[in-house]
Structure 1
């Protein structure tokens, strides 16, 4: 009888050790997988049906909206019916209301950068409001988009880009962009 109790005790200890080792391995693998997730993957999980509004902190201001899409260095927020805001992820200081989870982007989505999004805005020739990381707003039309910057022809937002309406041109590095909104 004593031997049975001894073997039962040893078996229980071994089982407990195996369970603890398994739990530690699962926790370690979970930490490693989470360490590979970037902001794009976390924000992609906040899009789609049933997406809740988020608060996106951009320097001195916070913008509320529902995430429509996310690229490797930008996010598109719907801030009201028909009002979309292109946000540079480098300008994001915090996101309020994000739920847990992540969704990996497609290969195409990983390549559609802020420059590509700004080139699409430039093709439309629509007036925009640019807000920089310091909170300063400018209006005009995106003229030329380079690898890491663009030219903004400044003019009042309620006027079309015509030589007589342009008050100046400003070169804007992507790193200075907080958000761009079509007017």
Structure 2
């Protein structure tokens, strides 16, 4: 009887050690997988879910709404039904997600960067508000987009982009862009 008890105790010790090793391995793998997930991957997990996220953006403040598109270095948040906001990743100060963890959706971020997204805005000729990381807001039309800058023809929002309506043309480095709101 004493031998049986001794062997049962040894088996229990071995099972406990195996359980602890498995828990440690799972925790280590989870940490490694999370280490590979950046801002883009977290935003991509929100894309198409309809889940409202909160972005704290330098110079802008808090934006709330569903993620409607994600790119290499930008995200599009549908703050209001007719006013999506294009946000540059460097301006994001915090992303607040719902308490429930979002599972990967299989969505993939667009491969093009902020410059390509701004070129699409330029082609569209929409009147936009460009907010920089310091909170300065300028209204106008994106005239041109360079390698790392955009040229914005500043004019009143209620007037079309015509030479007579343009106050100035600003060259804004991408690094200074926090958000671009279509009017």
1:78 CA drift (Å): 0.9
TM-score calculated relative to the size of structure 1: 0.91
Q: Does 1:165 align with 2:165?
A: yes
Show structure 1 runs of 5+ residues with no match.
Answer: none
Residues 91, 177 of structure 1: 8 Å contact kept? yes
1:7 CA drift (Å): 1.2
Q: Where does residue 86 of structure 2 map in the other structure?
A: 86
Q: Where does residue 130 of structure 2 map in the other structure?
A: 130
Instruction: Report the number of matched residues.
Output: 180
Q: Where does residue 42 of structure 2 map in the other structure?
A: 42
Residues 70, 110 of structure 2: 8 Å contact kept? no
SS of residue paired to 1:144: strand
Q: How does 1:1-183 map to 2 (within 5 A)?
A: 1-49=1-49, 51-60=50-59, 61-98=61-98, 99-101=100-102, 103=104, 106=108, 109-183=109-183
Tell which deviates more after alignment, 38-47 or 17-26. 38-47
Show structure 2 runs of 5+ residues with no match.
Answer: none
1:134 CA drift (Å): 0.9
- Distance in 1 between residues matched to 2:68 and 2:180, nearest whole Å: 15
- Measured on the aligned residues, the alpha-carbon RMSD in Å equals 1.6
- Distance in 2 between residues matched to 1:4 and 1:56, nearest whole Å: 62
- Distance in 2 between residues matched to 1:23 and 1:97, nearest whole Å: 27
1:95 CA drift (Å): 2.2
1:102 CA drift (Å): 5.6
